[in-house]
Chains A and B, each alone.
Chain A
Amino acid sequence: MTDKVLMACRECDALQWAPWVPRGQKVRCRGCGATLYHQPRGGLDRPIALLLGALFLYVLANSFPLITLDIGGAVRETSLVGTSWALYQHDMKLLGLLVFFTSLAIPGMILLSTLYVLTGLRWQLRLPGLRQMLVLLSHIHPWEMADVFVVSILVAMVKMSGMADVIIDAGLYALIGYILLGVAASASMDVFVLWQRLEKMPDHQVPAGLKQ
């Protein structure tokens, strides 16, 4: 790989040649000190392993109820999709959709498309749409809120503990595990490094007429 990359800082736009550092190191902007990029320690294998684990737990979290409420024998449980469905049914269609996308659909999309991109880069496969996936990822990232959802479940549990018995179900454990693995996976990746790798892939298709 090249030993230097021309970069402009995201924060202050300072143009500089950033050294291509070995694994486990990060490069800071010479103008403002913000991190330009970091070279993850575990290469691509680590995030792939973590995301496969996360995918397994994500499937489990969606297959089982999260919590069960018991008020004097009257029992009711909810799942991830059940929460947005409840809002949707109670005449809050937009809010239900917002909850559906932020707590379930976008986390799932990010999980699958990240795995797809990493697989292509790791085994040098020219999978279709690698570039588009990576673009999509950088757009939808702020809207992933599964971690916020877990905190909300804990808040709701305490809120109801006064008037009912609250039982934690398998889905909640799986969801917490999924989030921990997901956080570890994103800490072991840097999108800029992924773009560099994609560019260095043999036969990487540059859109016609744009090469300088």
Chain B
Amino acid sequence: MKKPPRARSLGLASCDICRQIVRLPNSPSIRLKCPRCGGTIHSRITHSLSRTWALLLASMILYVPANVYPVMKNTYLGAESDNTILSGVVLFLKEGDWVLALVIFTASIIVPLLKMVSLLYLLMNVRKAPHERRARQQTILYRVTELVGRWSMVDVFVIGILTALVQMGVISTVEPGIGAMAFGAVVVLTMLAAISFDPRLIWDRDLT
């Protein structure tokens, strides 16, 4: 079957919101509104790559304090303990709670790391011309990255729930730590980075 032409090569663009096909103006500086939904038409997300790079780098920098500083301070019968993200996982492992250790490990360590690595990989390879099969794989990688991103919020929510519940005066209290703030920022920034990446750029190369 003959391959369909690219919308962009015909001077057309699809609205990001409602997918209406619109003819692009001759000058790229004209801001075009979608006739159906009123959204701004971008043939490609404006400055997609530099935006994604900036957000990704910011999230990588914040990933350091998110892991170094405690996300939670726990007081139990007068004894204080600081918990980092990793120490939370280790604690579950020590208690033999494999399933839960795996859930936390996946949500708060694997998912953010995987997101950053796969966005980095996409950003570094988007200008190279690979096979069509590779382009398809990269598109799937992007969709998975975009889809799983929200699950790293698990840790932030757990900290919130524990802070709300464990306020038992002298017996036990939980306070959120500064690491939680950084981790929350990492989640938001990686999500924004994934949203700024335009997967159509993967297909804009001369595929062999």
Stretch at the interface among A38-46, A50-58, A145-153, A177-185: A145-153
A153 touches B151 (CB 8 A): no
Does A14 reach chain B (CB closer than 8 Å)? Answer: yes
**How many residues of chain A get a CB closer than 8 Å to chain B's CBs?**
69
Q: Contact between A92 and B176 (Cβ–Cβ < 8 Å)?
A: yes
1/0 contact string of B1-38 vs chain A (CB within 8 Å): 10111111010111001111111000000000111111
Check A12–B200 contact: CB distance below 8 A.
Answer: yes
User: How many interface residues does chain B have, given as a range?
Assistant: 35 or more
* Contact residue among B1, B4, B100 (Cβ-Cβ distance under 8 Å from A155): B100
Residues of A within 8 A of B36 (CB): 195, 198-199, 206
Q: Mark B175-208, 1 if CB is under 8 A from A, else 0.
A: 1100011001000100100010001101110000
Q: Which of A1-51 contact B (CB under 8 A)?
A: 6-8, 10-16, 30-34
Chain B residues with CB under 8 A of A8: 7, 12-14, 19, 21
Given A8-B7, A14-B5, also A71-B168 (CB < 8 A) = yes
| A-B pairs with beta carbons under 8 Å apart, 27 shown | A6-B21, A7-B21, A11-B139, A13-B8, A15-B4, A33-B136, A71-B168, A74-B168, A78-B165, A83-B163, A86-B164, A86-B167, A87-B160, A95-B176, A98-B156, A134-B37, A135-B18, A143-B150, A148-B154, A149-B157, A151-B107, A151-B154, A152-B155, A153-B157, A156-B157, A160-B166, A210-B34
Q: A14-B6, A210-B33 are in contact. List 8 more A-B contacts (CB 8 A).
A: A11-B199, A11-B203, A12-B6, A14-B7, A156-B161, A160-B166, A163-B172, A192-B19
Show the binding face of B for A, using Cβ within 8 Å.
Answer: 1, 3-8, 10, 12-14, 17-23, 33-39, 76, 95, 97, 100, 103-104, 107, 135-136, 139, 143, 146, 149-151, 153-169, 171-172, 175-176, 180-181, 184, 188, 191, 195, 199-200, 202-204
